[in-house]
Structures are given as structure tokens and as C-alpha cells.
């Protein structure tokens, strides 16, 4: 423990000396937000004394370096040390380090550099770290183009960024900005008239960014958790620095389209759905997660359970993809006859078909399109191990019971798992692994992770995949998925999917693909159900989930082509 303490305190001094060698020229400091050069000119001896930004930053500098701006009893220097070096220590160890090292740290860097470092790493709310990121998130512009009112709002948010940022509560953000402006006037950095005029200005917020952030709570939480695991595996408990950059797979336009599709459909079916939850995940052909809804609380401000990844539910007939894939792989064709007559489980329970029809002979294609349970059960009998193996080959990792229940989808899976499997069929048979990151860079800009799809990992024969795609198209054209049928202009590119409904309407699914939408095409899975596994009021996979799916695909084609 003593060795670790000495090592970390020593590290602070080394970093301080290193920064000091830059002769207090922040434009040359590494790992800083590009827009902060302007803030630095404000704080320094700029040649434009009347410049609004200079006055604001000087007022902020006076406040934070005089000790009047503090959080939890810490000075700005201590806050900066915490952000950069000590954030992994417990409270009392951190306080000890701060008290021991703060004065030397500040003396070597200078107060201006401390302020500079702080503003580049401070949290401003809504996922924005650093003043330039905050300017872009809240106002859609770099920090260098902020007005006095906008700058004051960002400064006002610092004591409580989650509550005082302009997206969370505009009225409180305006009130805090007014306090900043008054303080500047009292200190003589601006006139009282300028302060009053600025208070009356109406800030132009980046509304699209607010909508995007509010709709991505579950994605952001999942990405943060996965990055933390990645960093822990790579660096253990000794990260090389605080500033990593990650480019995610999320598409803002598609995420917004997903949210609109879900909210519109849920509102239309409010009476039958009650408090039922919903999840959606959209993948491209390589498995990049382009959109994700983990529940009704899309912002995840109260509900942090991501149903797209964490929930495991019975997929019902959506699992028939693997039953019929296994049948094709052992030599059957879409025209092969299958017995769909009445059938019982070994315990005497009858296997029921949703349409209450029990044909003595039905083609493989029609049995799939109409989700004939009895035909599926006969295809499963004696082949359960093959079916389970096919599901695992396509990416299903949840435990599967290799018995007749596979025909009816009684083994629980996650929405992402089964959507990945459908994406394999959609892309012609190549393995798909759902992922959230395109690239991760370390604090010195080196790429430490980049996603590279494996082109050679083919898990379905291309001809078999093409046959299965055609059968999925027939589900939407003639079978249980008619509600999901796309407009002719989209359908002609190629589209298909499968419904899934479990006993007593406890779970409802629709999973399908649309070629050519948003580039190379999308595979989208939708689940609707109650968290407590209680029945819904007649909601089937061919109703609400299929409607959400169709609405999203139409929206995706509109915004992305």
C-alpha cells in the first residue's frame, strides 16, 4: 500500500513537470478538446479585453481558483486531480492524496493550466465530458462559437451537471446562468447592462441531440459496461490514463426512428398493452448494433434493465427458424410434405395450432409460413440435438433443452441472440456477432481495438440460406406476418421475417430482415411482453411487434435510403 501511494504521488509530480515543460501553452498540451484553445485565450492576457468569452473565463477562473467554486469541500485543483489521477481510489485515500499533493501540483502547472485541464475533463451532463463536447451536445457548435449566455449556462451546470444542464431543466439552467452573469458584473468583467441583456437572450439548444441522447440510455449504459470490462481485461486496475475514445456503432437517425416507431405503436395499442414492455434491436449484416431500445424508459433514467440483451424469454414460433433450417440441411425442400395432423406430447397434452387447422399433409414452406406447430413438432422429433446445434452455430448461447419443446420455442433466449441468428440468414450464411464498438483508442491515440468482421466464418451453406430467406419472405406475404408486409418499393428488394407468440400471450416477437434498407440491409428483432411474465390481452407476434417492425423499416428507409 505504501509503495502504491508513493508511486502515484510520484506520478503526479512527473506529470506536473512534464506539463510545465510546455511553458503553459495549452494549445500544445496532449489529449485536450480542440475548442478549449479559445477558453485558454480568454483566461490569458488576450489582446481583446472587451471580448465576452475572455470575461466569462476570467470570472470562472477567479471563482474556481479562489476556492469559492468547490464540490464536496474540494478546491478546483483537487477536483482536477480526482478527475485525472485519483478517480479509482476510495474517498478517504483520495482526499489524503489530494491534500498532500494539491499545492505542489498547482505550483508546477499554474492555476491557468489546472483550469484548462479541469474544463477539458469535467462532466457537463448528458454524456458530455469536456467543454467542447458539452458545447456540441447542448448547442450543436464547438466551444469557440459559444455566446456569452451559452457559456454561462455551461459554467452554471458544473456544480450539479445532471440536474442543471439545459436539457435536464432549462429553467434551472437559466437561473444558474443568471447567477454567473451577476457574479461577472459584480467582479467588473461585464457591465450590469450587458448581464441583464444577456439574461433575456433565448438560447438555441440542439434539440435533435437532446432527442438522440434521451433515446439511447440503454445503449450507452451497455456500451459503458462493456468498455469497463474491456479496459479491466486489458489493463487490470491500472489504466494508463483517463481519456479513451470510443466510436460506437449506434446510428442516431435509426435510433430516433426506432423510438418513434415504438412510441407511435404503443400509443395505438395502449388499451391492449397496458404496462407491457418492449425491446428492439437493429443489426446490419456484420452485426453492428445500429439501434437499440431496452424498454419503455428509453433514456434509462429510472429503469436500467436492458430487455434487448438481459431479458431471456420464450421465443415461441420465432425459434422455428432453427427447426426448419435443420430440416433443409438434412435434405428436405420447401415442397417436401410434412404431417400436420393432431399430435400430443408424451404426457398426453395436445399440441395446438394457432389457426386450429390440422392438415394431414402440408408443404414445408406452408408449415413455416403458417407456423404449424404439429408439423414443427414432427420435424423436431428425433432431431432435437441437430436443432439445438444449429441454434448454437448461429449464435444462440442461452441453455437449450434438446427435446420436443424446441418445436414450440420453450427454451428462453435473448432478443439479441435470436436477431443475430436471423441476420446470419439475411447475409447469406456468415456468422454474426452483435457489437457496439467500431474502434477504441487509448489516451495517446493508438487504436487498441477495432472490429473486423470474419468473412470466412460461414455457418450456413449459401443455397440453404437463400432458401430459408425465401421461406421467411412467404411468412410476410402469405402467412402469420402479413402485418409486417412492406410497401412494394421496399419489398421488391427482399424482405422476410417470422412471428413468435407464447402461451397465454405472455411473449410476442417479430424478427425479420429487409435488404437494401440503410445501405446493405437491416435485420431487426422486436419483443413485447410483461416483465412479470403475466399474459397480455391478445397481443401476438403478428400484431404489435410486426407493426413496430414495419413502421421502423419504413422510417429507416425514409431517413437512410
Name the β-bridge partners of 437: 248
Cα–Cα distance between 332 and 313 in angstroms, integer?
Answer: 30
- Among candidates 424, 423, 396, which has minimal Cα distance to 409? 396
Q: What is the pTM for the complete model shown? A: 0.77
Q: Report DSSP state, residue 143.
A: G
Neighbours of 555 (CB within 10 A): 20
Neighbours of 283 (CB within 10 A): 29
437 contacts 248 by C-beta, under 8 angstroms: yes
What confidence score (pLDDT) does residue 277 get?
97
Burial of residue 71 (CB within 10 Å: 0-12, 13-18, 19+) is middle
Cα–Cα distance between 338 and 340 in angstroms, integer?
Answer: 6
* Number of residues assigned to the chain: 561
Burial of residue 137 (CB within 10 Å: 0-12, 13-18, 19+) is buried
Cα–Cα distance between 32 and 132 in angstroms, integer?
Answer: 9
What confidence score (pLDDT) does residue 82 get?
59
Cα–Cα distance between 243 and 473 in angstroms, integer?
Answer: 47
Name the β-bridge partners of 336: none
Cα–Cα distance between 487 and 489 in angstroms, integer?
Answer: 6
Name the β-bridge partners of 496: 513
Neighbours of 433 (CB within 10 A): 15
Residue linked to cell 449504459? 221
Q: Dmax of the chain from CA atoms?
A: 91
Cα–Cα distance between 137 and 205 in angstroms, integer?
Answer: 9
Cα–Cα distance between 526 and 540 in angstroms, integer?
Answer: 12
**Tens-digit pLDDT profile for the chain (561 aa)?**
222 323 333 333 333 332 333 223 233 333 333 333 333 333 333 333 333 334 344 444 444 444 443 334 456 656 665 555 545 544 545 445 545 455 665 666 667 776 777 777 778 888 788 888 899 999 999 888 889 999 999 989 988 888 899 998 999 999 999 998 998 888 888 899 999 999 999 889 998 888 777 889 999 899 989 988 888 888 876 666 557 888 999 998 999 999 999 999 999 999 999 999 999 999 999 999 999 999 999 888 788 999 999 999 999 999 999 999 999 999 999 999 999 999 998 888 899 999 999 999 999 999 999 999 999 999 999 999 999 999 999 999 999 999 999 999 999 999 999 999 999 999 999 999 999 999 999 877 889 999 987 666 899 999 999 999 999 999 999 999 999 999 999 999 999 999 999 999 999 999 999 999 998 899 999 999 999 999 999 999 999 999 999 999 999 999 997
CA-based end-to-end distance of the chain: 58
Cα–Cα distance between 548 and 267 in angstroms, integer?
Answer: 11
CA of 39: how far to CAs of 111, 221, 226, 361, 428, in Å?
Answer: 14, 31, 33, 77, 53
What confidence score (pLDDT) does residue 215 get?
87
CA of 468: how far to CAs of 281, 408, 546, in Å?
Answer: 21, 19, 19
Positive or negative torsion for Cα 358, 364, 366, 371: positive
What confidence score (pLDDT) does residue 391 get?
97
Cα–Cα distance between 192 and 66 in angstroms, integer?
Answer: 23
What confidence score (pLDDT) does residue 556 get?
96
447 contacts 455 by C-beta, under 8 angstroms: no
Cα–Cα distance between 291 and 284 in angstroms, integer?
Answer: 10
Amino acid at each position: 500500500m505504501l509503495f502504491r501511494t508513493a508511486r502515484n504521488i510520484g506520478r503526479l509530480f512527473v506529470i506536473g513537470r512534464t506539463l510545465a515543460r510546455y511553458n503553459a501553452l495549452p494549445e500544445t498540451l496532449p489529449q485536450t478538446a480542440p475548442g478549449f484553445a479559445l477558453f485558454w485565450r480568454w483566461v490569458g492576457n488576450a489582446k481583446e479585453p472587451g471580448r465576452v468569452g475572455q470575461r466569462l473565463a476570467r470570472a470562472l477562473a477567479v471563482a474556481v481558483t479562489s476556492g469559492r467554486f468547490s464540490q464536496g469541500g474540494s478546491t478546483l485543483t483537487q477536483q482536477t486531480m480526482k478527475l485525472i489521477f485519483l478517480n479509482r481510489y476510495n474517498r478517504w485515500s483520495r482526499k489524503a492524496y489530494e491534500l498532500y499533493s494539491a499545492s505542489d501540483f498547482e505550483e508546477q502547472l499554474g492555476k491557468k493550466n489546472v483550469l484548462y485541464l479541469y474544463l477539458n475533463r469535467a462532466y457537463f451532463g448528458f454524456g458530455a465530458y469536456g467543454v467542447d463536447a458539452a458545447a456540441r451536445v447542448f448547442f450543436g457548435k464547438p466551444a469557440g462559437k459559444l455566446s456569452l449566455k451559452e457559456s454561462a449556462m455551461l459554467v452554471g451546470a458544473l456544480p450539479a451537471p445532471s440536474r442543471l444542464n439545459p436539457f435536464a431543466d432549462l429553467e434551472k439552467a437559466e437561473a444558474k446562468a443568471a447567477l454567473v452573469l451577476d457574479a461577472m458584473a459584480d467582479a467588473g468583467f461585464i457591465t450590469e447592462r450587458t448581464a441583464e441583456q444577456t439574461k433575456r437572450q433565448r438560447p438555441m439548444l440542439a434539440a435533435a441531440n437532446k432527442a438522440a441522447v434521451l433515446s439511447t440510455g440503454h445503449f450507452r449504459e451497455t456500451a459503458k459496461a462493456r468498455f469497463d470490462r474491456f479496459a479491466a481485461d486489458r489493463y487490470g486496475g491500472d489504466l494508463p490514463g483517463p481519456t479513451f475514445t470510443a466510436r460506437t456503432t449506434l446510428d442516431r437517425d435509426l435510433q430516433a426512428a426506432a423510438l418513434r416507431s415504438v412510441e407511435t405503436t404503443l400509443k395505438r395499442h395502449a388499451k391492449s398493452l397496458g404496462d407491457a414492455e418492449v425491446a428492439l434491436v437493429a443489426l446490419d449484416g456484420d452485426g453492428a448494433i445500429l439501434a437499440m431500445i431496452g424498454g419503455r424508459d428509453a433514456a434509462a433514467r429510472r429503469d436500467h434493465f436492458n430487455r434487448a440483451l438481459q431479458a431471456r424469454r420464450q421465443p415461441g414460433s420465432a425459434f422455428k427458424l432453427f427447426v426448419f433450417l435443420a430440416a433443409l440441411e438434412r435434405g428436405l425442400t420447401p415442397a417436401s410434405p410434412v404431417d400436420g395432423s393432431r399430435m400430443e406430447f408424451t404426457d398426453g397434452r395436445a399440441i395446438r395450432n394457432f389457426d386450429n387447422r390440422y392438415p394431414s399433409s402440408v408443404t414445408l414452406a406452408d408449415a413455416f409460413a403458417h407456423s404449424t406447430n404439429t408439423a414443427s413438432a414432427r420435424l423436431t422429433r428425433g432431431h432435437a440435438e441437430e436443432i439445438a446445434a444449429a441454434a448454437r452455430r448461429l449464435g444462440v448461447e442461452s441453455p437449450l433443452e434438446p427435446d420436443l419443446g424446441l418445436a414450440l420455442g420453450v427454451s428462453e433466449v435473448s432478443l439479441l441472440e435470436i436477431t443475430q441468428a436471423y441476420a446470419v440468414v439475411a447475409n447469406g450464411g456468415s456468422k454474426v456477432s452483435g457489437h457496439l464498438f467500431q474502434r477504441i483508442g487509448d489516451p495517446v491515440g493508438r487504436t487498441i481495438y477495432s472490429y473486423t468482421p470474419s468473412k470466412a466464418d460461414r455457418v450456413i451453406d449459401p443455397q440453404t440460406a437463400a432458401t430459408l430467406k425465401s421461406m421467411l419472405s412467404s411468412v410476410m406475404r402469405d402467412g402469420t406476418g402479413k402485418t409486417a408486409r412492406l410497401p412494394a418499393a421496399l419489398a421488391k428488394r427482399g424482405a422476410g421475417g417470422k412471428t413468435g407468440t407464447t402461451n397465454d400471450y405472455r411473449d410476442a416477437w417479430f424478427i425479420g430482415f429487409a435488404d437494401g434498407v440503410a445501405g446493405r440491409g437491416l435485420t431487426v428483432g422486436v419483443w413485447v411482453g410483461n416483465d412479470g411474465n403475466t399474459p397480455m390481452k391478445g397481443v401476438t407476434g403478428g400484431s404489435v411487434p410486426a407493426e413496430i417492425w414495419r413502421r421502423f423499416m419504413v422510417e429507416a428507409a425514409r431517413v437512410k435510403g
